[in-house]
Every structure is written in C-alpha cells, then in structure tokens.
Amino acid sequence: MTAIYAMLAVVGAGMAWLAACIRIVEQFERGVVFRFGRVTSAIRGPGLTMLVPVADRLHKVNMQIITMPVPAQDGITRDNVTVRVDAVVYFRVIDPVRVTVDVQDYMSAIGQVAQTSLRSIIGKSDLDDLLSNREQLNQGLELMIDSPAAGWGVHIDRVEIKDVALPESMKRSMSRQAEAERERRARIITADGELQASARLSQAAETMAEHPAALQLRLLQTVVEVAAEKNSTLVLPFPVELLRFLERLTPSEVEQPDDAAATPSEPASTADHGMSISQATHIPGPREADQPPAIGGRSTG
C-alpha cells in the first residue's frame, strides 16, 4: 500500500514538473525566454517549448498586424483653418526581443507618437491638401511614425487619415465656392457651344449663298416641321427678295398718277377764275341811284 502511494506521489511530482517545464506557443506568437533575468538568444517558435523550472520565464509576443485608432486631434493648418483630424495606424512586431526589452509598453508608445505626428502634419499642411491630397500626407505621416518605431522592433505598415472635421462657417464658404465654380463652368460651356454653333451657322450660310436652292429646301423643311405638330396656324415664309422687288417698283408707280392729275388742273383753274369774274357784284354810280328803275317798258327821256 505504501508503494502505491509512493508511486502516485512520484507520478504527481513528474506531472507537476512537466507542467512547469512545458509551455505552448501559438502560431502567431513568438516566445522570449528570460533565464535568471537575462534574455536568451534563442527565440521560441510556435509549438511546445521546454523551460528550466524556476530558472526560466517565458514572455509571449504577438506577431500579428495590430490596428490602432488615433484619437481625433485639433489643430490649425498652415492657412489658419481650425480642423479636427483622426487617423488609424497598422503596425506589427518584427523583433520580439527589442519590443520586450527596449520598450516598456510599445502599444502606448506607438499611440503617443502617432498623435504627436498627426498634430505635426496638420500644422504643416494646407486645408486643400488635407481634403484632396491625402495619399502624400499618409506617406509623410507613416515616415514620421516609423522613424522612432523602427528602433523599438516595430514596423509601421500603413497610416490612414480617416476624417477631417471642419467648422460650419468653413463648410458654408466652401459650398458657396463650389457653387460659384459650377456656375462659371456652366457659362464657359454655354459660350463654347454658342461659338461652335456660330461657326456652323456661318458655314451653312456660305453654302446656301453658293446654292440658292438649298435655302428653298430649308424653307420647305421648316414648313414641314411646323405642320407636323397639331397646330391650327400654318406659318408660311415670305421671301425677302420679293419685298425688295416691290420696294423698287413702288416709287415709279406713284409718279405716273401724279403727272396725269396735273394736266386737267389748268382748265379747272381758268373756269373757276371766270366764274369768279361773272359772279362779281355790280355797284351803281350816283346818277344811277337817283333815277327810278324802269318798269315794264323802255324809258323815254
């Protein structure tokens, strides 16, 4: 019975020793072993790893890509515009020993460097660059963060500016500017269209001047287009040349009746003169006034 207890005690001690010696490292991790406080040169890979009890201590480091959001930072751009910008940083560990030994908390260190670099890049950039030229700013921000991170055993894979918040007054100003720009483009397009149309009309006029029949065909086509619609009125074009022809004929026709009317005017004036003479009133003299008027026959004396 005592032998059985002794055997069980030995087995239990062996299992405890194995539990203290054996560690499991995941596929996405690497193990850094500290033996009596000093780092061993060998980095433990994924799988089972053996440790010396009491002497060794295993520290696991995650080798996956880590996504860290950068809190929004308030800043003033180079053209004196107040903005609020946030970003995101993608990084991973490339040297587990340096991450473990050189930096107390590399996650916090990367976060602080990212915030400082983001505020610095805001002050060096214009508002237009923050809104439209983000690729270049992302590259500059990545270099600024990667410079100190490389000495910590961390590699910055990517940095992206997520959002740029603007004041309401600046948004209204930008909307008015965009509206004015669209109106300018619309006017330019309209003027360009009128210029092209005038050039085409000039060519068409030259063609019609060389071929008069083309003008008649165009008039007929216009009549057909007007008659195709459901209208009670039909517009017929009147040639301008006919009006000019009538204008040339009108003065000669007016002069002939004037000449004919002038010929019989002379006898009429003579008759009127004679009539005025015959109708003159006879005023008697003094002697004729004393004599009584003759009644009924010839007077004697």
Residues 133 and 165 grouped into a single domain: yes
Cα atoms in the 13 Å half-sphere on the side-chain side of 30: 15
Residues 149 and 72 grouped into a single domain: yes
Per cent of the chain over pLDDT 90 is 27
Residues 117 and 164 grouped into a single domain: yes
Cα atoms in the 13 Å half-sphere on the side-chain side of 279: 6
Residues 31 and 94 grouped into a single domain: no
Residues 32 and 72 grouped into a single domain: no
| Ordered DSSP codes for 43-112 | EE-SEEEE--TTTEEEEEEE-S-EEEEEEEEEEE-TTS-EEEEEEEEEEEES-HHHHHHT-S-HHHHHHH
In a domain, 232, yes or no: no
What pLDDT, on a 0 to 100 scale, did the predictor assign at position 264?
46
In a domain, 226, yes or no: no
CATH number (domain holding residue 143) = 3.30.479.30
Secondary structure letter of residue 299 according to DSSP: -
pLDDT at 57 over 80: yes
What pLDDT, on a 0 to 100 scale, did the predictor assign at position 282?
45
CB atoms within 10 A of CB 118: 24
In a domain, 286, yes or no: no
Tell me what the mean pLDDT of segment 230-239 comes to. Answer: 66
- Global pTM? 0.57
pLDDT at 292 over 60: no
pLDDT tens readout for residues 20-51: 788 888 889 899 999 888 888 888 888 888 88
- When the pLDDT of each residue in the chain is averaged and rounded to a whole number, the result is 78
In a domain, 258, yes or no: no
Residues 47 and 75 grouped into a single domain: no
Q: How confident is the model at residue 280 (pLDDT cuts 50, 70, 90)?
A: very low
In a domain, 288, yes or no: no
Residues 11 and 48 grouped into a single domain: yes
pLDDT tens readout for residues 129-170: 888 888 889 999 999 999 899 889 999 999 999 888 888 888
Residues 115 and 142 grouped into a single domain: yes
Looking at 170, 205, 225, the residue that finishes a domain is 170
- Count the domains in the chain: 2
Q: What residue numbers bound the domain in which 26 lies? A: 2-61
